[in-house]
Structure 1
Amino acid sequence: MDLSQGTASLSDDALQDHLLQGVSRTFALTIPQLPPALAKPVSNAYLLCRIVDTIEDEVALDSIQKRRFCQQFAQVVRGREPPESLRDALAPLLSDQTLPAERELIGLIPRVVAITHGFAEEQQDALACCVEIMARGMAEFQDRDLRHGLATMAEMDAYCYYVAGVVGEMLTRLFCHYSPELAAHRAAMMQLAVSFGQGLQMTNILKDLWDDHGRGVCWLPRSIFDAHGYDLRGLKPSHDSPAFRAGFQDLIGIARGHLHNALRYTLFIPPQETGLREFCLWALGMAVLTLRKINRHLDFAVSSEVKITRRAVKVTILTSRLFRAYNPLLKASFALATAGLPPEPHRPLLPAQPPES
């Protein structure tokens, strides 16, 4: 099954932009802010991760098939197996629930991976490591009964690492390959990158709570809610439980702490790297606004009720552009935007300090 004929004439950059427009309008918006030397590998990295997501989300595949296809894809990215074999085996199994854009992406696996193999060795290794860790970790959680949540906060941390923290590590490797100035802070940034990823992922988990619940999945940690006397086995929309709201606000506070680290991460980026700063600030700003909306509507029953507006996105972009070069203003803006959120946990979340400027 070859879906590449209609896109054969597109350049690599045009192809990746076309695919991103189909599978993620958010990244199609933020990635072009990066310098060209980074935009191409970062676009490719997102598409590779989306292929893993598509495999893991495919309802027509059982857990054994998902694990096998993910392992095969990791070998394809490493250049150890032909991409055509994976495409030809996987594409016919996709169900009608798979989005047309995701179906197109699967059909174009050989082209996407050919772009991967054109990057520098360090860039290729960063992308391949990310795919390997993500595929292995996501397969582990696919085998679990997730109807009533994860057992502990540590399990939520692990899940967030596999789906987002590892992406932060991969992006940091790409950033450090691009900039020797950033490479000087690699150790601190790698640690904060995991926290950055977790903040974004936790925000999505909280926002998508009822969408996930509707398909029989819950990513909330039972231990957080047990401490307030709420049993997640009784979770349902339109509830009226102060105990649940208390546990939910604890998670908002933890997400806030991780997003604070996202700001610390961003401040390591030199102010003259405007594209890199904007790439991070836009994601951070939209996550903070989403947390604020969730916190104001703890009784929401569908994710659309806490989705930020296009106007809020535009305000985030404008504020980022105005303040991006001024660390004190960015810190003050973050403090103001998060002032009404539940407090960060007492335990510090990777308190690395970037240089002042």
Structure 2
Amino acid sequence: MPSLYGAVKSKTGELLQDSMEYCKGALQSVSRSFALTIPLVEENILGPIMVGYLEARILDTFEDDIGRREISLEERIEAMNMLMDILENPNAESTKEKIDILTGSADEMVQNPKYRDLVKNMKSVLAVHSSFDEATKECMVRWLKEMNFGMQKFLKQEVYSFDDLDEYCYYVAGTPSGFLTELIRKRSKDLSDKNSAILKENERDFGLFLQKVNIIRDFREDILDNEKIFWPGFLFEKYQVKPEKLLNDINEGKAMPILDYMLDNACKHIEPVKAYLNAIPDEYAGFRAGAAVNFAMGVATLDTMRSNRDVFFGDKPVKISHESRDNIISDPLGFVSN
């Protein structure tokens, strides 16, 4: 497994090393699935991917964590824009003050203790970010800026159609996929023009697929905990049922066909993602293996949710079996091929 320190340029003083250690621990804390796969990727893209993920997580936390008190739309947008100002203008006189404002707001704005700790310690994430070369930083900030724009759009707009769902998923998950793909396409020495085009054509599908799996799996949890709905509104109109009523098993006859619509929509991304994985050059075999693990777990989760009433009525989100998980981790590309 490559060392995370190798992703940081030579100016690794004690403070920077401490910041890297924090980022490694934070990644393990805020995302078990990506903490499992990000360390598999090659050394020259490992640091940017890890820090890019943590910065996206901070932005997402300001966007949708329910907070320890009621957080207004205006407060969310102000915090999101302030984060982007920090990233876009790191040397501005006001940057330190803005960092202090955001880290100081964590106790009120962020209820999830793991995300709260990440926001409080964003200085460590920003310290590692600042160590990257200018081209990498520009790439990271540009994709985060796109994400910020879309997140704010859907703070004010509901998901009504499958086109809306695709657009929402692009902003929250397709943009990170675009960032990862740009790193590969710009840094690879062995990527053919054909495979470069395949990666570019299908990068969006990779992010959309993973996000849709999460949205389907977390339907019950999103309603109960966050009172948020990401399934297209036209489905509830079609079956004349309110989303929260689907958590009552008296409406199972309406819930299961709606679930089929959602699963079928997610499945349209499977073949494009396979093409994406197969186009990744061998010099980034570690990145391909990590992406294949996440993809294969998504496919297995979709299969587990098919005709599964626990999506609506279970005590916990549906998960794949430990046996399936172990099989995927041991041979993700073989699982994808099958």
Shorter chain as denominator, the TM-score bin is 0.7 to 0.9
The one-letter code sitting in structure 1 at the alignment partner of 2:113 is P
Moved more, 258-267 or 39-48: 258-267
Unaligned runs of 5+ in 2: 1-13
Distance 1:245 1:153, change over 3 A: same
SS at match of 1:246: helix
Q: Which residue of 1 aligns with 2:258?
A: 247
Q: Which residue of 1 aligns with 2:11?
A: none
Is 1:39 aligned with 2:46? yes
Q: Say if 1:199 and 1:259, in contact at 8 Å, map to a contact too.
A: yes
Give the Cα–Cα distance (whole angstroms) in 1 for the partners of residues 221 and 190 of structure 2.
42
Mapping for residues 194-205 of structure 1, pairs under 5 Å: 194-205=204-215
Q: Which residue of 2 aligns with 1:341?
A: none
Q: Which residue of 2 aligns with 1:168?
A: 177
Q: Say if 1:176 and 1:183, in contact at 8 Å, map to a contact too.
A: no
The one-letter code sitting in structure 2 at the alignment partner of 1:42 is I
Mapping for residues 35-184 of structure 1, pairs under 5 Å: 35-58=42-65, 59=67, 60=69, 61-80=71-90, 81=92, 83-95=95-107, 98-144=111-157, 150-182=159-191, 184=193
SS at match of 1:32: helix
Cα-to-partner distance string for 1:58-87 (whole Å, 9 max, x where unaligned): 434311111111112112112354543233
Moved more, 67-76 or 187-196: 187-196
Q: Which residue of 1 aligns with 2:4?
A: none
SS at match of 1:220: coil
Q: Say if 1:41 and 1:119, in contact at 8 Å, map to a contact too.
A: yes
Give the Cα–Cα distance (whole angstroms) in 1 for the partners of residues 52 and 216 of structure 2.
25
Give the Cα–Cα distance (whole angstroms) in 1 for the partners of residues 168 and 192 of structure 2.
27
**TM-score, reference length from structure 1:** 0.80
Q: Say if 2:292 and 2:336, in contact at 8 Å, map to a contact too.
A: no
The one-letter code sitting in structure 2 at the alignment partner of 1:37 is N
Q: Which has more helix, going by share of residues?
A: 2
Q: Say if 1:198 and 1:258, in contact at 8 Å, map to a contact too.
A: yes
Q: Say if 1:151 and 1:223, in contact at 8 Å, map to a contact too.
A: yes
Give the Cα–Cα distance (whole angstroms) in 2 for the partners of residues 75 and 273 of structure 1.
33
Moved more, 36-45 or 312-321: 312-321
SS at match of 1:13: helix
Q: Say if 2:217 and 2:305, in contact at 8 Å, map to a contact too.
A: yes
Cα-to-partner distance string for 1:266-306 (whole Å, 9 max, x where unaligned): 00013453202111100001101110111141353247251
Moved more, 302-311 or 282-291: 302-311
Distance 1:85 1:303, change over 3 A: farther
Q: Say if 2:221 and 2:317, in contact at 8 Å, map to a contact too.
A: no
Is 1:308 aligned with 2:320? yes
Number of aligned residues? 315
Q: Which residue of 2 aligns with 1:349?
A: none
Cα-to-partner distance string for 1:12-38 (whole Å, 9 max, x where unaligned): 432321111121122111111001111
SS at match of 2:246: coil
The one-letter code sitting in structure 2 at the alignment partner of 1:208 is D
Q: Say if 1:165 and 1:196, in contact at 8 Å, map to a contact too.
A: yes
Is 1:188 aligned with 2:192? no
Q: Which residue of 2 aligns with 1:290?
A: 301
Q: Which residue of 2 aligns with 1:238?
A: 248
The one-letter code sitting in structure 1 at the alignment partner of 2:241 is D
Moved more, 42-51 or 22-31: 22-31
Cα-to-partner distance string for 1:231-271 (whole Å, 9 max, x where unaligned): 34563313334343223212211211213211110000134
Distance 1:14 1:91, change over 3 A: closer
